[in-house]
Amino acid sequence: MLPKGFLFDFDGVIVDSFNSHYSAWTSAFKELFNEEIAPFPKSHTGKTPLIIAEYFCSVIGKEHQTEELYHLKDEHLDQYFTVPELLPGVREFTDLLSEEKIPYGIASNATKQFLKNSIHHLNLNFTTVFGVQDYEKPKPDPEAYKTLAKALGFKEKDFKDLWVFEDSLTGTKAAKAAGMKPIGILTQYSEAELREAGSILVFPTLLEAYQYLVK
Q: Same domain, yes or no, for 70 and 121?
A: no
Is 101 strand, coil or helix?
A: coil
> Is the per-residue pLDDT at 204 higher than 90?
yes
> Is the per-residue pLDDT at 1 higher than 90?
no
Q: Same domain, yes or no, for 171 and 73?
A: no
d(CA 91, CA 127): 14
Specify the number of domains making up the chain.
2
CATH code of 95's domain: 3.40.50.1000
| pLDDT mean across residues, the chain | 96
Q: Same domain, yes or no, for 116 and 47?
A: no
User: What residues make up the domain containing 93?
Assistant: 5-16+84-214
Contacts (Cβ under 8 Å, ≥6 apart) of 1 = none
d(CA 119, CA 129): 10
Q: Same domain, yes or no, for 140 and 201?
A: yes
Q: Same domain, yes or no, for 186 and 134?
A: yes
Looking at residue 19, its pLDDT comes to: 92
Give the strand pairing for 104-107 and 5-8: parallel
Looking at residue 161, its pLDDT comes to: 98
**Full-model pTM:** 0.91
Query: pLDDT tens-digit profile of 132-168?
Result: 999 999 999 999 999 999 999 999 999 999 999 999 9
Is 120 strand, coil or helix?
A: helix
